[in-house]
């Protein structure tokens, strides 16, 4: 029997090996066949299509469509986009140091960085770019214009700018340079013996800069009793920097994150490697729906190890790891290679999406895990804060004022009337009634969720043939909605004022000033201060009581 069993086992192994070889052969044949079909198709279209085509644009359309079928984070990075990629990873790029957006039909400066070529040349927020090196911006996208503005340090760029309040366009010449955008733009105290710093992106040296911010706070405030660490709006960045930032608050040798993907040999575990700055000081971490990826690693790790209390809203829900591969001609592909898991064992990748964003799934439908002290936490859809607060911008009127650039335009008008401004901590916006008049004068309109639902109800009633019977009641409801909308500006005065103050201060004191003025009226900052001033509540939250 033994020889037979041995022969049978060998036969089975041989058959399995042959099956694997057949599967691999079939797979490689399919890849080769489809590449050949695609190449022939591409050549035929370029040769025979009735209109002239841009071969590069045609290929880019095909590449983007292919990658779009995978996930939102797998992207092709062309040679012209390398500078943008460098900014995401390094926090610096070669250009003029300004952000632009298309507002209406105009390419408009929406922010400039302190000590940048744009700032030195006198370019202002609100300026409309008419021409760049003789090329019209009309009809171009903001990405196209930004690619033109970027270039080697020391090279000139000539702009024709239309400035609000001035009748004639003016010419501005500036010298491109390397632009460095600090990832920790503000550090300071926000209350008696309570420190604050914000991290905006996990670019290179994020861990070192966070460590320096905490060390400076401790040095300048010997009685420091707590720190607020702001990760709101931070979309992530480098995985290694997430480990380094975590290491500022937790001991050397702690497991931070494990990555697991298709290729087992690429699976890795990342532990802290350095001596921490402080493992004991009370810590509140602010997160929101735009805190993603590396932000979720750090906030999730601090929660899993019971090192700090999370305050705000559930984070975005991106538990995927991307790596880049060179694909020739100074271009790259950034592709998802793994999922990451934090110390409790959970992966916070969203499992359901709605309108392109991870859907908020109830805890009852998610798998449960335990923090080091035994608190229950959940996977599948972001990191849930320990203290959940309603987001300030949930109101439709506030979102619409931002989306339609009403707040931006009013700030531009304000700057035209005010050539100077007090320091951010001393500035208070005091002309809300004037802003309301400005909004009404410019025929601001928006549709509430209730109005949308009412319109859907009208359409259903018409289909079912009962609209005539319901018309009077529906009209009465619509009028009540319109009456309520007239009070929306007043009802949201605090949040609108906060946004106006930040937009105005940004024009004079740049990003640092925007953060500083926003701290004054921030409800999440107030909650964090209250929590750090109540040690018993703080300990209770970390203990899960």
Q: Hey, what are 172's tokens?
A: 């501005």
143 among known catalytic residues: no
- Backbone region of residue 237 per phi and psi (left: phi > 0; alpha: psi in -120 to 50; beta: other values): left
> What is 449-473 written as a DSSP string?
HHHHHHHHHHHHHHHTT-HHHHHHH
Strands 226-230, 283-287: pairing kind: parallel
The one catalytic residue in 127, 230, 288, 304 is: 304
106 among known catalytic residues: no
The one catalytic residue in 246, 291, 293, 295 is: 293
Q: Residue 314: which residues within 8 A CB-CB, separation 6 or more?
A: 289, 360, 381, 382, 383, 384, 385, 388
Pairwise CA distance, residues 540 & 545, whole Å: 5
Pairwise CA distance, residues 58 & 437, whole Å: 49
CB 197 within 8 A of CB 229: yes
Q: How far is CA 269 from CA 241, 253, 254, 344, 456, in A?
A: 14, 11, 10, 13, 51
Pairwise CA distance, residues 358 & 454, whole Å: 27
3-state secondary structure of 521: coil
Half-sphere exposure of 343 (CA within 13 A, CB side): 24
Torsion from C-alpha of 91, 500, 190, 186, nearest 10 degrees: 20
Q: How far is CA 12 from CA 1, 20, 372, 428, in A?
A: 16, 12, 47, 80
Rounded to 5°, angle at Cα 154 from 148 and 157: 35
DSSP state of 13: H
Half-sphere exposure of 400 (CA within 13 A, CB side): 15
The phi, psi pair for 74, rounded to 5°, reads -95, 115
Which residue, chain included where needed, has tokens 């209250």? 530
Strand partners, 261: 338
CB 200 within 8 A of CB 515: no
The one catalytic residue in 150, 289, 318, 332 is: 318
522 among known catalytic residues: no
> Annotated catalytic sites, by residue?
293, 304, 318
């Amino acid at each position: 029997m033994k020889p037979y069993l041995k022969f049978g086992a060998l036969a089975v192994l041989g058959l399995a090996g042959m099956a694997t070889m057949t599967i691999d052969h079939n797979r490689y044949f399919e890849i080769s066949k489809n590449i050949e079909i695609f190449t022939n198709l591409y050549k035929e279209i370029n040769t025979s299509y009735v209109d002239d085509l841009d071969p590069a644009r045609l290929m880019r359309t095909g590449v983007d469509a292919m990658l779009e079928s995978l996930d939102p984070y797998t992207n092709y990075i062309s040679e012209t986009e390398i500078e943008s990629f460098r900014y995401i990873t390094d926090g610096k790029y070669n250009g003029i140091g300004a952000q632009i957006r298309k507002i209406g039909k105009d390419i408009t400066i929406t922010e400039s960085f302190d000590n940048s070529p744009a700032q030195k040349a006198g370019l202002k927020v609100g300026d409309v770019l008419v021409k760049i090196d003789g090329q019209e911006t009309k009809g171009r996208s903001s990405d196209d214009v930004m690619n033109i503005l970027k270039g080697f340090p020391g090279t000139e760029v000539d702009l024709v700018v239309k400035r609000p309040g001035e009748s004639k366009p003016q010419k501005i010449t500036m010298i491109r340079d390397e632009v460095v955008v600090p990832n920790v733009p503000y550090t300071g105290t926000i209350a008696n013996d309570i420190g604050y710093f914000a991290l905006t992106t996990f670019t290179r040296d994020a861990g070192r800069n966070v460590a320096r911010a905490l060390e400076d706070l401790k040095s300048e405030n010997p009685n420091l009793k707590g720190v607020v660490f702001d990760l709101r709006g931070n979309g992530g960045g480098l995985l290694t920097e997430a480990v380094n930032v975590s290491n500022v608050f937790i001991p050397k040798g702690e497991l931070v994150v494990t990555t697991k993907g298709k290729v087992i040999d690429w699976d890795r575990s990342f532990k802290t490697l350095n001596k921490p700055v402080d493992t004991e000081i009370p810590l509140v971490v602010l997160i929101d729906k735009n805190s993603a990826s590396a932000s979720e690693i750090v906030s999730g790790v601090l929660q899993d190890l019971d090192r700090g209390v999370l305050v705000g809203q559930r984070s975005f829900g991106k538990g995927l790891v991307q790596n880049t591969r060179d694909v020739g001609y100074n271009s790259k592909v950034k592709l998802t290679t793994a999922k990451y898991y934090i110390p409790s064992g959970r992966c916070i990748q969203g499992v359901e999406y709605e309108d392109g964003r991870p859907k908020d799934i109830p805890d009852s439908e998610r798998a449960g895990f335990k923090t080091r002290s035994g608190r229950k936490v959940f996977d599948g859809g972001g990191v849930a804060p320990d203290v959940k607060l309603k987001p300030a911008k949930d109101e439709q009127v506030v979102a619409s004022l931002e989306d339609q650039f009403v707040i931006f335009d009013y700030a531009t008008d304000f700057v035209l009337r005010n050539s100077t401004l007090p320091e951010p901590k001393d500035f208070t916006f005091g002309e809300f009634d004037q802003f309301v008049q400005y909004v009404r004068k410019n025929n601001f309109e928006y549709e509430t969720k209730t109005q949308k639902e009412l319109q859907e109800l009208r359409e259903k009633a018409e289909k079912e043939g009962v609209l005539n019977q319901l018309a009077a009641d529906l009209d009465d409801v619509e009028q009540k909605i319109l009456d309520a909308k007239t009070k929306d500006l007043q009802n949201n005065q605090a949040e609108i004022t906060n946004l106006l103050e930040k937009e105005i201060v940004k024009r004079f004191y740049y990003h640092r000033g925007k953060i500083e003025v926003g701290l004054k009226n921030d409800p999440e900052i107030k909650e964090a201060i209250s929590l750090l001033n109540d040690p018993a509540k703080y300990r209770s939250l970390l203990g899960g009581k």
